[in-house]
Structure 1
Amino acid sequence: MEHSDMVNTAQLELIHAEIDGELDPRQRAELARSVLSDPAVRTVRDELQRLCRALETLPEAEPPADLRDSILAALPPAPLRRSRSWTTAATPAWRYAAMLAGVMVAGTLIFQTLRGPGPAPREVAGTLAPQPAHTVVDTVVMSRTGPVGGKVSLYRDGVELGVAVDLTSAAPLDVLVSSGGYTLRVNGLRTPADVALPGFPMAGQPVDVSFLIAGREVGTATLRAPKGP
């Protein structure tokens, strides 16, 4: 930007502040006078505005994971300042370096936004932790005197019931569960497995479970549902 050498620091500060939307009425009037009276100021202002518009149109892309840290590590420590206004250190070169770092950081933020809000690290740890076990309310042990053997349990998971099937069998099982006017069938079940029973009541009623292989009943179990929600 060859015209920038013809623009003094105060004028550059006003141009940068205008781009950032930080001009007060007095500064805006001062910049307008400089733009009207000095072609070099007008040229630098136009070039900077075009640069900012071009940066805003850059396509969103995922930056390398270590790019943000390497950029921030390369920047010199920022001195403490009493005000928000630009100091004499705000030369065009410094301005462009800071702008580039901002674009890279913004790209990271945009990517995270597009991915959607994710759980906090503590929440992720909680999500990956083992979930509490179901509350078993009844169990029937089936001895291996026939085609199937093992145990069948009725469990409570919050306000829903489910059946935990842990049986050995010669082939995948079809499971038929009936209780309180509700019926649920699961075909080709390989155990151990849990079968959720959405909508099944909890009123102390029996829960009948039948096991079938190739359409033939090979075992049954009757469990008792708990009372109350």
Structure 2
Amino acid sequence: MEDMAELQDMHALLMSRVQSVVTACCEYRSSLEQYAYLYVEDRREVLRLFLLHGHVLTDHERKMNTPGSIPESPPTLDCFREQVDRYEKLYEEIQALQTVYVFHGWLRVDSSSMKAALLNTVNKWSSMFKQHLMEHVINSLSELEQFISDTGQGLEQHVEKGEYSALVGLLSHLLAVKSRQQTTDAMFEPIQQTIALLQDYGQELPDMVYKHLQVRPMNTRGLLSEQ
């Protein structure tokens, strides 16, 4: 009987210690729930709403997001910087997390895989905003290059007397150049600022971007002067 009582006491002590460890592990798990949104939220949808409203919507805003309920306001470059900085800071925070935990001196938890997965996910969020800016720069310069090429070819066409369709085509190119002038003149400074921001975060842009920036402003002014 004494042996049985001793076994019962040992069993009770063991279960108490197991329960204490389980509680500690649950508390540790709860401390990581603050990062759950990194997996739960749809990055594409977050970016879509960010581009539409100029900020990342709160849970309350998303629930009430009906047409016209939240003003549309395209994000500024500072808005992008704020988001990238947010994830850069979050990356550093997670990087500083302890990797190995020992609970109550006997249960060892290695969270290195979880930590690596979290860091990788944070990188995806940060890269999403930077990639959008990079694509904006590349697409803007590529579109301008195509415009200059197409319009330049159109302006080089020789119009014979009586060729009204050719004359109309030439005039349409001249009108396109004139209407594009203000937009073209205004686009280069914001693009330079965007490139500077990307460089601040160590992003490398294709060589064609820098070539476009050096050559295209001169080509554009030359094209406009041909009016």
TM-score, structure 1 normalization? 0.24
User: Over alpha carbons, which structure has the higher Rg?
Assistant: 1
Normalised by the size of structure 2, how large is the TM-score?
Answer: 0.24
